[in-house]
Amino acid sequence: MKFTVFPAVDILDGKCVRLLKGDYDFISTYYEDPLEPAMLWQETGSEWLHIIDLDGAKTGEPVNIDLIKKIINKTDLKIQIGGGIRSVDTAQIYLEAGVDRVIIGSKALEDPEFAKEMIEVFGKDRVVVSVDGKDNKALTDGWLEDSGKMLTEITEELVTVGVEHFIFTDTDKDGTLLGPNLEMALILAKLTPKGLILAGGIGSNQHVLDIAAQAENGLIGAVIGRALYTEEVDLKVLLEELPKS
């Protein structure tokens, strides 16, 4: 199974930023124009881009749609996007603009029927559910609220309604560079039909290689954020080191 690296571009106030553990009080700004890192990751060899509209996450609206259209038009990258996608209409705006997949999170965790509706409208391959949390507790609403469900429980529920594509972020690891939660990711991957993309905590090329070594056990991709911008991860070298199939 092919392993995919997803460089992350988080957009806030029109800029490329990174948060620490999802906290808006701990923001690092890396590029004034998010197109710049998008083009850099394409030139380095990436096929995909993982975009989070942090303004959209706050408002529930596609705040940075014009910026995202610019990235779509100026690059050949496949794009998955999340951040405040809480309706079919918002998802449709992104997909009609040329995004390949939309990421839904809190609303799907709170109401799996929403995920089912999205899949019925757009198809299984265009919808990804982000299952986020810590200590097997699924968190929602910007990682501030305990959903009352275990990560394993909600993943099984979502599979039952037809979800095939998942991202897991350990919220305690996000932005720390201290290493991903492989143990929890492997547990969740076993519950999914097509495997799991892992995010949170990646701080070195070796961390990604360790994830890729578990591709046969369902870890099919990694989202890399802060480590790219602080150069703890050398994307060019990493892509050369990863298995080609």
CA distances from 8 to 1, 49, 159, 174, 235 (A): 22, 6, 25, 12, 12
d(CA 237, CA 150): 37
Active site residue 141: no
- The separation between CA 37 and the C-alpha centre of its own chain, rounded to angstroms, equals 16
Q: Catalytic residue among 25, 33, 89, 132, which?
A: 132
As for how many domains the chain has, the answer is: 1
User: CA 48, 62, 21: angle at the middle one, nearest 5?
Assistant: 65
pLDDT tier for residue 245 given thresholds of 50, 70 and 90: low
pLDDT of residue 173: 86
The model's pLDDT over 16-28, given as tens digits with 9 standing for 90+, comes to 998 776 667 678 8
Whether residue 147 is contained in a domain is answered as yes
Active site residue 132: yes
Whether residue 168 is contained in a domain is answered as yes
d(CA 42, CA 40): 5
Whether residue 243 is contained in a domain is answered as no
Whether residue 220 is contained in a domain is answered as yes
Q: Catalytic residue among 10, 55, 170, 174, which?
A: 10
The model's pLDDT over 103-154, given as tens digits with 9 standing for 90+, comes to 998 889 889 999 999 999 999 999 999 998 888 787 776 655 565 788 999 9
Output the six-digit token pair for 47.
């096929």
pLDDT of residue 20: 75
Tell me which residue range forms the domain holding 208. 4-238
Our CA dihedral for 144, 150, 154, 156, rounded to 10 degrees, sits at 160
Whether residue 205 is contained in a domain is answered as yes
pLDDT of residue 143: 53
| Segment 27-44 mean pLDDT | 95
In CATH, what number is assigned to the domain containing residue 17? 3.20.20.70
How many C-beta atoms surround the C-beta of residue 26 within 10 A? 11
Of 137-151, 212-226, 230-244, the least confident: 137-151
pTM: 0.94
pLDDT of residue 137: 82
Whether residue 70 is contained in a domain is answered as yes
Segments of the chain assigned E as strands: 4-12, 15-20, 23-31, 48-53, 78-82, 101-104, 127-134, 137-140, 145-150, 165-170, 196-199, 219-224
Q: Which residue stretches of 27-81 are H helix? A: 35-44, 54-59, 65-74
Whether residue 198 is contained in a domain is answered as yes
The model's pLDDT over 65-117, given as tens digits with 9 standing for 90+, comes to 999 999 999 999 999 999 989 999 999 999 999 999 999 988 898 899 999 99
Whether residue 160 is contained in a domain is answered as yes
Q: Which residue stretches of 98-199 are H helix? A: 106-110, 112-122, 151-160, 182-189
Of 95-104, 137-146, 157-166, 192-201, the least confident: 137-146
- Partners of 167 in beta bridges: 130, 197
**Beta-carbon contacts of residue 117 (< 8 Å; ≥ 6 apart):** 88
